[in-house]
Amino acid sequence: MSKRKTKKQRVRMQTQEPGERIRNFEEVALGFTEEEALEEASRCLQCKRPRCIQGCPVNVRIPEFILKLREGDINSAKEIILSTNSLPAITGRVCPQENQCQEFCIHPNAISIGALERFVADHGKRPDIKFSKKLQTKIGIIGSGPSGLTCAAELANFGHEVVLYEALHEYGGVLMYGIPEFRMPKQVVNEEVEYVQSLGVRLEKDILIGKTITIDELLNENEFDAVYIASGAGTPNFLKIPGENLKGVYSANEYLTRVNLLKGYKFPEYDTPVSVGEKVAVIGAGNVAMDAARTSLRLGAREVDIIYRRTEGECPARLEEIIHAKEEGVVIGELTSPVEILGDKKGNVIGLKCLRMQLGEKDESGRRRPIPIPNTEFIFPVDTVIIAIGQKPNQLIAQTTPGLESTRRGTLIHQEETGKTTREQVYTGGDVATGAATVILAMEAGRKAAKAIHEMILEKELGKKN
Ligand code: FAD
Ligand code: SF4
């Protein structure tokens, strides 16, 4: 185990040693001990105008929960966090804190707010459930990712009957089938799902809305009062270069899903259903790419390279993921763009033809645009290629729901504050509405939509009485 700290500096969370952890799928970051949490909490300046709160997409009352933790009252600390963030054990693990609360923290060595949030979530008790008066209304939720789970919990708390439909055989969305066990233990996700169930939400798996049953059928034949679509962005983008159909080419999405849902992470107890080669190239540099690269190492790859058009400074992955990936031996191949995947006569991948890039002016994303350098093609020998260049929403629901309109990017048109779509009684939020984003934003959209749905129903009831 590695651990580094000095008195005035941030208390660093312990991690499994890199050499040890690439041989297992257990969680890499081990969380604070109580002593470490209290020491880190003691560094918070308890600012009168806390800037950290502005950096949090759901405005967690950060200094207040840190103060309760310092006083030894972990349960109250958790209650404070839960008042605006319903999944702290999850966000404490995966939020990009360095670009959010911690970036805004005025301390010269920003407080490890995420690690403290995780400690409180893991060790504090949830307040007892206060069941509201049951209403005679029924809401359908589509998708059991962070957005669907949050919306379902909020609506159940308001007193509605809630039924949540999930296409796959496990609940949790990307938290369960995308993010690997070494970063997001399935047990943590299961506890959140069980909590939502304990609120009275009925969960139904293996139901593909748009095929098994349509939204029209839910609203008209099954008498749902409203539906919340939180079906995520699960369709991978491809490079559209020659060779993408060769054996040994995966989308990161398919690769991680196979490892996660078919229990590849329990190898050798479960024989892995993914064959990974010796030399793996992962194309892309976001969280998904880092997860695929680190998973490949754990499945036995000898060498794993990230192929990225820009430089490490522009990688969209969380800083912690980049650091952990590099510690584990993942190489970040900067300023490189693939132009063709090469195969042998049997159709197996044998290499990647790439072009060197240079950075030009900033583009609309605010990052410097990568520009190809002519005549710099080279061949990189690999036997596995994993493509991780983003995802978009699946169009099944949009295509089977008359009146539900999408943008050109395939996201559902909606009002940001309420999640209201172009179709009466239908709301949306999370990745299907915004495009691939983050857990905290998906969760927040679920909360906002639950409030809007509740208000819409109350208004209707009032209208009936008048
Ligand atoms: P999802 O989590 O995608 O859940 C959607 C659910 O809907 C799925 O379970 C799906 O099976 C179900 N569904 C889809 N269609 C239907 C249908 N027709 N009928 C019924 N059910 C359906 N974010 C971070 O903040 N930090 C990270 O470190 C991070 N790492 C990531 C790593 C990976 C590998 C991936 C893929 C994403 C990562 N993200 C991360 C992004 C984050 O996970 C997503 O933004 C978030 O999960 C979106 O939540 P959601 O509820 O909108 O959708
Ligand atoms: Fe504490 Fe930093 Fe927030 Fe100030 S800005 S209250 S030091 S966490």
Residue type, 232: G
Check pocket membership of 437 for ligand 1, CB cut-off 6 A.
yes
Check pocket membership of 46 for ligand 2, CB cut-off 6 A.
yes
Q: How confident is the model at residue 273 (pLDDT cuts 50, 70, 90)?
A: low
Q: How far is the CA of 63 from the centre of ligand 2 (A)?
A: 6
Quick one: tokens of 365? 């994303």
Q: What is the mean pLDDT of residues 69-93?
A: 96
Q: Which CATH number applies to 237-391? A: 3.50.50.60
Q: What is the mean pLDDT of residues 225-254?
A: 97
* Residue whose CB lies within 8 A of the most ligand 1 atoms, among 166, 211, 257, 439, for a mutation test: 439
Check pocket membership of 51 for ligand 2, CB cut-off 6 A.
yes
What's the pLDDT score for residue 364? 84
Question: Residue 193 pLDDT more than 70?
Answer: yes
HSE-up of residue 373 (Cα within 13 Å, Cβ side) = 13
Name the packing angle between helices 113-123 and 34-41 (round to 10°).
140
Q: Which CATH number applies to 138-234+393-465? A: 3.50.50.60
- For the chain, give the mean pLDDT: 94
What's the pLDDT score for residue 367? 83
What's the pLDDT score for residue 459? 92
Check pocket membership of 45 for ligand 2, CB cut-off 6 A.
yes
Residue that has been written with the tokens 């949090």 in this structure: 56
Q: How far is the CA of 98 from the centre of ligand 2 (A)?
A: 13
Beta bridge partners of 331: 305
Q: How confident is the model at residue 262 (pLDDT cuts 50, 70, 90)?
A: confident
Check pocket membership of 397 for ligand 1, CB cut-off 6 A.
yes
Check pocket membership of 28 for ligand 1, CB cut-off 6 A.
no
The Cα 318–Cα 107 span in angstroms is 21
* Residue whose CB lies within 8 A of the most ligand 2 atoms, among 52, 101, 109, for a mutation test: 52
Ligand having the closest approach to the CA of 111: 2
- Tell me 39's DSSP state: H
Question: Residue 32 pLDDT more than 50?
Answer: yes
Dmax (CA) for the chain in angstroms is 76
Residue 437 CA: nearest ligand 1 atom is 45
Q: How far is the CA of 233 from the centre of ligand 1 (A)?
A: 6
Q: Closest by alpha carbon to 453, among 157, 211, 198, 197? A: 157
Phi, psi of 257, deg, nearest 5: -65, -45
Atom 4 (ligand 2) nearest CA: 47
CATH (one of 2.130.10.10, 3.90.245.10, 1.10.1060.10, 3.30.70.3270) for 3-123: 1.10.1060.10
CB atoms within 10 A of CB 237: 16
Quick one: tokens of 418? 């309420």
Quick one: tokens of 344? 């042998």
On whether the CB atoms of residues 236 and 282 are closer than 8 A, the answer is no
Residue 439 CA: nearest ligand 1 atom is 25
What's the pLDDT score for residue 82? 95
On whether the CB atoms of residues 289 and 317 are closer than 8 A, the answer is yes
Check pocket membership of 52 for ligand 2, CB cut-off 6 A.
yes
For 259-285, give one letter per residue: b (16+ CB within 10 A) or e. bbbebbbebeeeebebebbebbbbbbb
Question: Residue 6 pLDDT more than 60?
Answer: no
Residue that has been written with the tokens 């409180």 in this structure: 120
- Tell me 23's DSSP state: T
What's the pLDDT score for residue 268? 67
The shares of helix, strand and coil residues in the chain, as percent rounded to the nearest 5, are 35, 20, 45
* Residue whose CB lies within 8 A of the most ligand 1 atoms, among 287, 295, 434, for a mutation test: 287
Q: Is 49 helix (H, G, I), strand (E, B) or coil?
A: coil
Q: What is the mean pLDDT of residues 279-291?
A: 98
Question: Residue 5 pLDDT more than 60?
Answer: no
Q: Closest by alpha carbon to 40, among 73, 7, 62? A: 7
Distances (CA, A) of 61 to 46, 49, 56, 252, 406: 11, 11, 9, 36, 35
Check pocket membership of 319 for ligand 2, CB cut-off 6 A.
no
Phi, psi of 363, deg, nearest 5: -105, -170
Check pocket membership of 94 for ligand 1, CB cut-off 6 A.
yes
Check pocket membership of 231 for ligand 1, CB cut-off 6 A.
yes
The proportion of the chain whose per-residue pLDDT surpasses 70, expressed as a percent, equals: 97
Phi, psi of 309, deg, nearest 5: -75, -25
Distances (CA, A) of 112 to 47, 78, 136, 325: 15, 16, 45, 20
Beta 303-307 vs 279-283: how paired, if at all? parallel
Quick one: tokens of 68? 């309760």
Q: What is the mean pLDDT of residues 271-280?
A: 81
For 110-125, give one letter per residue: b (16+ CB within 10 A) or e. bbbbbbbbbbbbbbbe
Q: Rounded to 10 degrees, what is the CA torsion of 323, 255, 245, 399?
A: -110
Q: How far is the CA of 180 from the centre of ligand 2 (A)?
A: 31
What's the pLDDT score for residue 274? 75
The Cα 27–Cα 359 span in angstroms is 36
Tens digit of each residue's pLDDT (9 = 90 or more) over 333-347: 999 999 999 999 999
Beta 368-372 vs 384-387: how paired, if at all? unpaired
For the chain, the domains span 3-123, 138-234+393-465, 237-391
The Cα 366–Cα 250 span in angstroms is 29
The Cα 67–Cα 291 span in angstroms is 34
Residue 104 CA: nearest ligand 2 atom is 5
Residue 46 CA: nearest ligand 2 atom is 6
Q: How confident is the model at residue 366 (pLDDT cuts 50, 70, 90)?
A: confident
Q: How far is the CA of 109 from the centre of ligand 2 (A)?
A: 10
What's the pLDDT score for residue 3? 45
The reported pTM is 0.94
Phi, psi of 70, deg, nearest 5: -60, -35
What's the pLDDT score for residue 462? 80
Question: Residue 4 pLDDT more than 60?
Answer: no
Beta bridge partners of 378: 354
Q: What is the mean pLDDT of residues 65-93?
A: 96
Q: What is the mean pLDDT of residues 433-460?
A: 96
Check pocket membership of 129 for ligand 2, CB cut-off 6 A.
no
Question: Residue 123 pLDDT more than 60?
Answer: yes
Check pocket membership of 63 for ligand 2, CB cut-off 6 A.
yes
Question: Residue 8 pLDDT more than 70?
Answer: no
Let me know if the fold of 138-234+393-465 is the same as that of 237-391.
yes
Tens digit of each residue's pLDDT (9 = 90 or more) over 374-430: 999 999 999 999 999 999 999 999 999 999 999 999 999 999 999 999 999 999 999
Residue 318 CA: nearest ligand 1 atom is 28
Question: Residue 1 pLDDT more than 90?
Answer: no
Q: How far is the CA of 410 from the centre of ligand 1 (A)?
A: 16
On whether the CB atoms of residues 161 and 138 are closer than 8 A, the answer is yes
Q: How far is the CA of 215 from the centre of ligand 1 (A)?
A: 20
Check pocket membership of 50 for ligand 2, CB cut-off 6 A.
yes
